[in-house]
Amino acid sequence: MSELRKIVLGEPVKAVIGPDGHRVSTTTVPVLVDGTVIGSIVEIEDSHMCNWHADSTTFALPSLVDWSRDGLLATLDAMVERQAARLAAGEALQDSDKNPLDPELQFWIDGDYLRHPLIYAIPYTEQMAPHYNTRFHMVRKLVEEAFAAGEWGTYIWLHERPYRLSALTKVVDRLSDQEYWQMVGQFWIDSENIHQNAKTWRSLWSSRRPGRDAVTAAAAAVVLAVRAVVIPLTTVVAASIAPEAF
């Protein structure tokens, strides 16, 4: 994992807890800031789950869980860093400072849902924020690498389904004619909200680019691969002939 900026770990303490017949081994790792314990991470053997328990009057840190100690530590470290900067400036903590979710993701919370272009969580639970943060950083890195390498199909597929059309339009001028029609066909089939983006789809299907026959091959490949077609293949083929029909 990346180097921690604000927190350090104390010596782990192993223990066995629970009633006879249901005893489990645990490892408790103290977490410190400037020599003061602010809480601990409890790892339960064989469960692969790490639980964060806060014990601080300085920092506002909610209970958190993750399958990865590194992911949990990264979230805690980022929270402490934000809050320490705010407190050092003599300011009161803001709600965003207390939110364990990555600041770039916080804007995309919609009630009980997280709807970021690169990560969905339905429902979203605050306790699992470290997991969402880790996944987001991983996917974002893959997206950046795919874009830099010109791997346009991978770049688009890495986006969550409702945002793949937007990703397609972002790179459409970088596609060869064959890639253009293949991807228009693939992501037309993959889409579940065509009616909400009718104008954009109409524009894509109305292109005068040559090689429209690549649509049929692309559509067939998707059908065979996922066996879950939103729009029948016959509709896609018909659209390749008369896009104005829809």
Q: Is residue 192 assigned to a domain? A: yes
Q: Residue 201 is which amino acid?
A: W
232 and 155 fall within a common domain: yes
Q: Is 139 a member of any domain? A: no
For residue 121, is it within any domain?
no
Q: Do residues 230 and 165 share a domain?
A: yes
Domain presence at residue 190: yes
150, 174 Cβ separation under 8 angstroms: yes
Q: Where in the sequence is the domain holding 195, given as residue range(s)?
A: 150-245
pLDDT (tens digit per residue) in 196-211: 999 999 999 999 999 8
pLDDT in tens, 101-130: 999 999 999 999 999 999 999 999 999 999
Inside any domain, residue 131: no
- pLDDT tens digits for the chain (246 residues)? 567 888 999 999 998 877 776 778 889 999 999 999 999 999 988 777 899 999 999 999 999 999 889 999 999 999 999 999 999 999 999 999 999 999 999 999 999 999 999 999 999 999 999 999 999 999 999 999 999 999 999 999 999 999 999 999 999 999 999 999 999 999 998 898 888 999 999 999 999 999 888 787 666 665 554 443 334 434 444 444 344 433
Residue 72 CA to residue 138 CA, distance in Å, equals 15
Q: Report yes or no on 90 lying in a domain.
A: yes
